[in-house]
Structure 1
């Protein structure tokens, strides 16, 4: 059984007759051999090129010994924190420790360190001083320049400098990691790889030319938020693989250099990657603890494409996967689906056919495949580009073909669906077919907010698009005689959202008779435009000032207002309404959010007006206790 997986032990090496690996892959996640897990993809890609790869998953980082488990690699060490940023994996928006980790065996938290990429790289350097170290994955990819770190509330160096790695492979990595491997196999040193696309490196001699751009230094962005915004804008606008220039950022007498992004994978290359011999299950070592929970969502799902031109400003996908959609062929997807029907545990249901955005099956326009994306406009969001290719014909045909495969009972669409893109196609036929065949009672969508200046800052369509789509969705279900519902996701405390805006959203939910079961509080993760807004208080692309909710109590208020019916939220909602001067929403009328306070309750009305005037160093007992819970508490 183990021979079907990548090597994870000395015993595996001995069974294959290997005395040394070419690459040791240090992985912050449990090893799941499925194309939805980055370590499996990169490991399998290298294996397909003839390289010997072994994986050490979630090593004990307290010493270098566990990093020697597979011996000294011949060519190099590959290091990733896993499918998620390790800080995001560990802590919530309120900086509380999460109680579970879906990427660890049995869902047990605490199996990886904070800032795992840095810790693993330093331990690997301790284990083998002269072995080239290549870091990658989303944690490294989004921290490749000086960046704002929400959890420490400061600007940090490029992760390359803190990890002391030789090369950072950013983005999806299939192209760059193979080029790096081939160069190492040819005996080249790191300095001879600086031409490879999709990498970052540190040097004392930057390649200044007309094809490079210098952005503000680490020292500048740390000292001046306007400089941070300028640096971010340069990095944001040079991410295109066709016209993006090499970016150079000085940092304490050294230079972090980013080469232009790797070219998008062709359809043939995508097919080849996803048809590698994945077992599509977690490693047998995890059977006794119940496996790895993250596999359940994707085990019987199909990735039809990658990349996203949606430009949601709080999302890291565009920065990591790129804005140009790369798709797989129908033939490849059908072969994978047929294979899936013969796997143990398959019950006839394909849980998803999609990608970052399910209905983005092709590039936004033909120009992107030769000239790249537009630097001065977005394809979709608050406005829709007139050149946008909105056709859903290919995606609809794909869904039809897959649901007619023998032994497939149902094909669901569960990855994100951009309804504004669907509306731009004027495609009620797609909505009807979606409701008839591909929804199981509920369809998740993400309007995120209802106040236009907030959705504009999010890069999302305004609320009218959501209401129009809801009308189409309800009409289709009435026609089909089905009772199916939209499950909208909303976000609190995004830059630009004030307490008054949060109350407007609560009123919308009241009028629509909605009570979100899940609420996402904005988390400023490195690399996103929204995070740059959060840190600087301005939109780096326009220079306009942006309101930011920073106080833990205000963030709690905005979050609680979305679930104002929850009795546990009564006190904080009451306080928010009093502070905002919206006591008209406290009462028994149909327009009210909550009833009046019962006699004997705390003196909210007397203290609400003074709550925002306490000195920062003396928040009062109640405020201090709340802050302590948010900083140090466990959920």
Structure 2
């Protein structure tokens, strides 16, 4: 019988390594002198990171380093090494087991370049915020330097940069599909996602004398093979998105009893898949533990954008740790083998990880140097991991998973006491209780069987799944307990809020608004138009309206004057100029003048990045004839779309006037409440020839029946909002400001 809900060996059940006799170090050593002071002759594991070393549970190197230390291993840190030679990589000597490589808490390219490919002049993870202290593609560079320094020492790569490049992936910075980072880095093994389970298993196995060549089936790892393993059944991924009806043929994707995992309302943009596993025999049952999916090769996806989108879809459908198969992808003569995702941590394990003896401050060698990222999180508390929202422009789900992993109240309250004792100058303000999404704490599927079988890309789109627990009372109780801690006068909620979930629990909204909002609450509708929202997998503006009514009501009851600050994205796949115009009209109608706005950033492995590169929609089965998705890629198009978000900025007015004229909307140019941008001064006016609109841009002819206005609460506006919410109001589910640089023609290489 197939086991539905998988479990794993408990993190703290391994026998301790012999070196545990050295005890706990005040800080993990970063120099030979620090090692000598601890009485160490060598390190068992050396972690190399692109971040400054902050001994805090928000920094990955500290979490994994302290976890290994708790298991008895001697762990050293090489932080922000000079990558131009091998000297820094040799400063702690040869590790007994392996080097662990991470670019840091952020992808090194996202850290260095803006969405418009401008070089940033700062780095929040570096002392004094100085930029340029880590190389581009840091995982590749660090790994290669470790191999140069000690060619026979195994190298393990992980962290967000490696995790999201485990298979062939579109690279925005070079505008091409690149190979798996495991190939380019010459590393021996890649750990993806939150790596506690995989790292402990690999480390203990190596300590017992096994080599990495023998460790081929550990969850959460990616390795290089010469050939597929024996004893497995292969399913070609091109059979997965078969559009025909399947009858009496076993499908490895169909575990759920019919009707068990249904949302309250279906959406054609998110369609279930059917599988015909050829050449398997009809009715044949497969062991999911001995089945793998063959993805199109690197050579194919690098040349065929449609196959790239198809591959992205399969990868995301194979992300549930309870039913995912191994994946294999050919790179030349080598095979990239991706084992299934790690089993999520249970609450006692989460508590154990966050209860480790962190100093909660930067390493003393930095003295009084300010590290901006530390300043942001030094009094914040991470209460959970994971996100089931499925927003297509975000890769958190692909890294941390959809299953929410929560800490206990006791562990969180203990961390508050730690902050009071260890953080210099603590004033009694907890700056955040959060995680990827602050109000997903303890929320999970109500049915273990459904959770173990489900392959939905989101638990809340198009509407909230009927199997999802939306009870926020554990979060509300946690807020009350933290406020009651002696010495705490304010607890803020700064992490992202999923307002379509929040409206399901009015008592939570009341608690949040009354006690945890400091005047402004940031939320992220991201857009106003249903066509674009469907490509984002975000709820319609009707849900936003409902949350705003709750927010305003409870703010008034609390005697507070508070406001929502909505965030929006420009130039997202599926967003036309007409969509951005409608959004700009919404902003002006609601008297919003955004200061900081965001242009879509195609980060590795996200579904929206697959749309950007391929022009196809991987939320549906992908074929050569399937839906085309328009994406503004040209620098000028992206500038105009961002300009619509900042319609009030005089620097954008001329571009917007030109666009409005091309779109047949000169009526929105002029002075008055019903105008979007002011008219040009007469002495500055020049005659310009009309320009032909590009694909996806609106023309004058397209505005005969959907002409936005500046009038509030018109019948047309109410109807549009109703459609955007998916249901009538009575039955809805209660639920860089600078112009972008011209896109680089040259590819950004490792420096």
Q: TM-score, normalised by structure 1?
A: 0.94
Alpha carbons of 1:224 and 1:612: their partners in 2 closer, same or farther (altered >3 Å)?
closer
**Match status 1:97 vs 2:179:** no
Quick check: 1:315–1:528 contact (8 Å CA) kept in 2?
yes
Deviations 1:63-102, CA, capped at 9 Å, x for gaps: 1121111111110000000111110000011100011110
2:536 to 458, 465, 485: 458
Residue 234 of structure 1 corresponds to which residue in structure 2? 314
**Match status 1:571 vs 2:593:** no
Residue 228 of structure 2 corresponds to which residue in structure 1? 206
Quick check: 1:282–1:291 contact (8 Å CA) kept in 2?
no
Question: 1:195 is paired with a residue of what secondary structure?
Answer: coil
Any residues of structure 2 matched to 1:619-634 within 5 Å, and which? 631=744
State the distance in 1 between where 2:741 and 2:587 align: 31
Bigger helix fraction: 1
Residue 419 of structure 2 corresponds to which residue in structure 1? 340
1:552 to 623, 626, 635: 635
**Match status 1:318 vs 2:397:** yes
**Match status 1:486 vs 2:569:** no
Question: 1:172 is paired with a residue of what secondary structure?
Answer: coil
Deviation at 1:414?
0.8
**Match status 1:11 vs 2:33:** yes
Any residues of structure 2 matched to 1:285-304 within 5 Å, and which? 285-288=365-368, 290-304=369-383
Quick check: 1:286–1:292 contact (8 Å CA) kept in 2?
no
Question: 1:282 is paired with a residue of what secondary structure?
Answer: coil
Residue 381 of structure 1 corresponds to which residue in structure 2? 461
Question: 1:118 is paired with a residue of what secondary structure?
Answer: helix
**Match status 1:36 vs 2:116:** no
Unaligned runs of 5+ in 1: 614-625
Quick check: 2:117–2:741 contact (8 Å CA) kept in 1?
no
Deviation at 1:629?
5.2
Greater mean deviation of Cα atoms: 370-379 or 582-591: 370-379
**Match status 1:472 vs 2:472:** no
2:502 to 410, 422, 442: 422
State the distance in 1 between where 2:386 and 2:149 align: 36
State the distance in 2 between where 1:631 and 1:583 align: 33
Quick check: 2:116–2:743 contact (8 Å CA) kept in 1?
yes
Deviation at 1:233?
1.6
Greater mean deviation of Cα atoms: 219-228 or 208-217: 208-217
Quick check: 1:242–1:370 contact (8 Å CA) kept in 2?
no
Quick check: 2:116–2:740 contact (8 Å CA) kept in 1?
no
Unaligned runs of 5+ in 2: 1-23, 234-290, 696-738, 747-751
Question: 2:579 is paired with a residue of what secondary structure?
Answer: helix
Quick check: 1:96–1:631 contact (8 Å CA) kept in 2?
no
Quick check: 2:170–2:177 contact (8 Å CA) kept in 1?
yes
Deviation at 1:319?
0.4
Question: 1:359 is paired with a residue of what secondary structure?
Answer: helix
Alpha carbons of 1:17 and 1:369: their partners in 2 closer, same or farther (altered >3 Å)?
farther
Alpha carbons of 1:206 and 1:169: their partners in 2 closer, same or farther (altered >3 Å)?
same
State the distance in 1 between where 2:436 and 2:114 align: 22
Any residues of structure 2 matched to 1:72-151 within 5 Å, and which? 72-151=94-173
Deviations 1:485-528, CA, capped at 9 Å, x for gaps: 11111111110000110111100000000011211111000011
Residue 338 of structure 2 corresponds to which residue in structure 1? 258
State the distance in 2 between where 1:283 and 1:507 align: 50
Q: How many residues are paired up?
A: 616
State the distance in 2 between where 1:297 and 1:550 align: 33
State the distance in 2 between where 1:222 and 1:415 align: 36
Question: 2:682 is paired with a residue of what secondary structure?
Answer: coil
Deviation at 1:541?
2.9
1:446 to 524, 531, 545: 524
Deviation at 1:445?
0.4
Deviation at 1:3?
5.0
Residue 622 of structure 1 corresponds to which residue in structure 2? none
Q: Greater RCO between the two (CA within 8 Å, min separation 6)?
A: 2
> Once superposed, what is the RMSD of the aligned Cα atoms?
1.8
